[in-house]
Amino acid sequence: METSGPGRLVLAALVGVALSAARAHAGADEGKTLYDQKCKSCHSIGSDAGKMANVGGKLDGVGSKRDTAWLKAYIADPKSQMPNAKMPKIKLEPAQLDDLVAYMLTLK
Domains of the chain, first to last: 6-104 (1.10.760.10)
**How many percent of the chain have pLDDT more than 70?**
76
pTM of the model: 0.76
The upper half-sphere exposure of residue 37, i.e. CA atoms within 13 Å in the direction of its Cβ, equals 11
pLDDT at residue 97 is higher than 90: yes
**How many percent of the chain have pLDDT more than 90?**
74
* Mean of the per-residue pLDDT values of the chain: 85
Q: In this predicted model, what pLDDT tens digit does every residue of 14-55 receive, in sequence order?
A: 454 443 444 445 689 999 999 999 999 999 999 999 999 999
Where b means 16+ CB within 10 Å and e means fewer, 32-46 reads: bebbeebbbebbbbe
What is the rounded CA–CA span in Å between residue 29 and residue 11? 27
